[in-house]
């Protein structure tokens, strides 16, 4: 029987989700959905100092807004006993050892190694301590931090879903610190333990985790588990080509404030950094069905506000009335939405256009000849199934005007604007009495 695909998104609740996190969450959700699998939200809240409940709530709200609901939610703070068990197992197997250096001492070692042209790798000095030396450290009140001992005999290899074959010389990696002196956990071990326990089959994350993956593959093996499939996608950069601090602050709250639709953000991020075209696809199913790791490129993916705005505008133009009804001004019905929609960049702009229908409008000053023409239009206006088509046909016939000279003064008098919604759809919304009153008012000047 085929194994169910299970992916996970594992944010730390130490701040709001930003655009890079959102992309990771989306791609993991899509990977699971395409395979008919499960998507796990894992809240990495082992850092009790920095983790905040308000951010846990915000993460849930943001995923909900994006329609990326997880199938299950787990919290690392509720799973500490599992990490303790794994720690003891690895310790008994001789894969974890205590180290006593301070940050300053480690920093000095790194500087000396770099000065000698050597890679700044931990020298395993802690392993050379005798039992007496360790006891002396403890007697001084120095509590150890704990490192995972890499197996230097074996090269670390895996087939990466984006980067292809990967190979690391484990002797060129430092034994990672997995637990601090105060007993709190760092990312590495709890993450591997959870991936095993939750049956995670695919880990899709940013390429900044590649060396973590090399280390974690040995942790999986040491814990007697097969590693999941790994894929590391290129990171997002700003359009100027470098990782900007701004991208780190662009979160769902910022997108909501500027009137970005979740469908637009999803359509952009789904394909950003792939060989597939970024298109205003509102249908989630289409995006899921075309999701393919083999289309992901190695170059940084450029996030561009202008591209998001372009996608957003095109998506708004696809929305039917039911999708937006609760966000429209009072009295604005389906016919009004249909008339005004092609002029919108954001749904929130509908109110400005709707005010053209409800009035009053500010008309420009017209010259005498145009005022006479508008007076004639007020007389010629007859209500029918197609009042705009009938009015302009009649005026063309009576005045010989055509093109801009025929249409523009009428639009200016009726809406106060030089451009805007299709007048054939707008005029019935304004209504006969109001339309005639506006033409007469413009004619009087």
Joined together, the tokens standing for residue 349 give 């702009």
| Percent composition of the chain: helix, strand, coil (DSSP 3-state, to 5) | 50, 15, 35
Determine whether the annotation assigns residue 128 to a binding site.
Answer: no
Q: CA 323, 326, 329, 335 torsion: positive or negative? A: positive
- Judged by DSSP in three states, 244 sits in coil
Q: List all residues 6 or more positions away from 131 whose beta carbon is below 8 Å from its beta carbon.
A: none
**CA distance linking residue 71 with residue 271, whole number of Å:** 23
**CA distance linking residue 348 with residue 329, whole number of Å:** 9
Please state whether beta strands 164-168 and 177-179 pair in parallel, antiparallel, or not at all (unpaired). unpaired
Q: List all residues 6 or more positions away from 372 whose beta carbon is below 8 Å from its beta carbon.
A: 443
**CA distance linking residue 345 with residue 309, whole number of Å:** 8
- For the beta carbon of residue 293, count every other beta carbon within 10 angstroms: 16
Whether the bond between 360 and the residue before it is cis, its omega within 30 degrees of 0, is yes
Give the side-chain half-sphere CA count within 13 A for 187. Answer: 10
DSSP string, 78-95: G-HHHHHHHHHHHHHTT-
Q: List all residues 6 or more positions away from 261 whose beta carbon is below 8 Å from its beta carbon.
A: 312, 315, 316, 319, 347
Annotated binding site: 245
Annotated binding site for ATP: 245
């Amino acid at each position: 029987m085929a194994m169910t695909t299970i992916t996970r998104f594992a944010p730390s609740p130490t701040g709001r989700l930003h655009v890079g996190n959102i992309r990771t969450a989306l791609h993991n959700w899509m990977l699971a959905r395409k395979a008919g699998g499960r998507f796990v939200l894992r809240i990495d809240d082992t850092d009790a100092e920095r983790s905040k409940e308000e951010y846990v709530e915000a993460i849930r709200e943001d995923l909900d807004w994006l329609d990326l609901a997880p199938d299950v939610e787990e919290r690392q703070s509720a799973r500490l006993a599992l990490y303790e068990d794994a720690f003891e197992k690895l310790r008994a197997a001789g894969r974890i050892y205590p180290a006593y250096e301070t940050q300053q001492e480690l920093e000095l070692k790194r500087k000396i190694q770099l000065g000698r042209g050597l890679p700044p790798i931990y020298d395993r000095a802690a392993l050379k301590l005798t039992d007496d030396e360790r006891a002396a450290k403890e007697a001084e009140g120095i509590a150890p931090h704990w490192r995972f001992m890499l197996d230097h005999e074996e090269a670390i290899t895996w087939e990466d879903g984006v980067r292809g074959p990967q190979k690391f010389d484990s002797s060129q990696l430092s034994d990672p610190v997995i637990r601090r002196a105060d007993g709190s956990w760092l990312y590495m071990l709890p993450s591997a333990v959870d991936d095993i326990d939750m049956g995670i089959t695919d880990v899709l994350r940013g390429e900044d985790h590649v060396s973590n993956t090399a280390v974690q593959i040995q942790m999986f093996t040491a814990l007697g588990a097969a590693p999941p499939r790994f894929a590391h996608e290129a990171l997002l950069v700003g359009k100027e080509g470098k990782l900007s601090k701004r991208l780190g602050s662009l979160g769902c709250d910022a997108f909501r404030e500027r009137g970005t639709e979740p469908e637009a953000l999803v359509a952009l991020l789904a394909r950003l950094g792939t060989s597939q075209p970024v298109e205003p696809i509102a249908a989630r199913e289409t995006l899921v069905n075309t999701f393919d790791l083999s289309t992901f490129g190695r170059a940084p993916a450029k996030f561009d506000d202008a591209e998001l705005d372009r996608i957003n505008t095109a998506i708004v133009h696809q929305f039917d009335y039911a999708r937006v009804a609760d966000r429209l001004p009072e009295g604005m019905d389906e016919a009004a939405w249909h008339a005004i929609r092609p002029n919108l960049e954001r749904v929130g702009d509908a109110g400005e256009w709707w005010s053209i229908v409800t009035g009053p409008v500010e008309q420009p000053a017209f010259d005498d000849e145009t005022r006479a023409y508008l007076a004639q239009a007020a007389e010629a206006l007859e209500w029918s199934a197609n009042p705009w088509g009938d009015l302009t046909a009649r005026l063309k016939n009576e005045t010989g005007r055509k093109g801009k000279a025929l249409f523009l003064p009428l639009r200016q008098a009726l809406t106060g604007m030089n451009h805007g919604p299709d007048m054939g759809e707008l005029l019935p919304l304004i209504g006969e009495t109001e339309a005639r009153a506006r033409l007469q008012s413009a004619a009087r000047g």
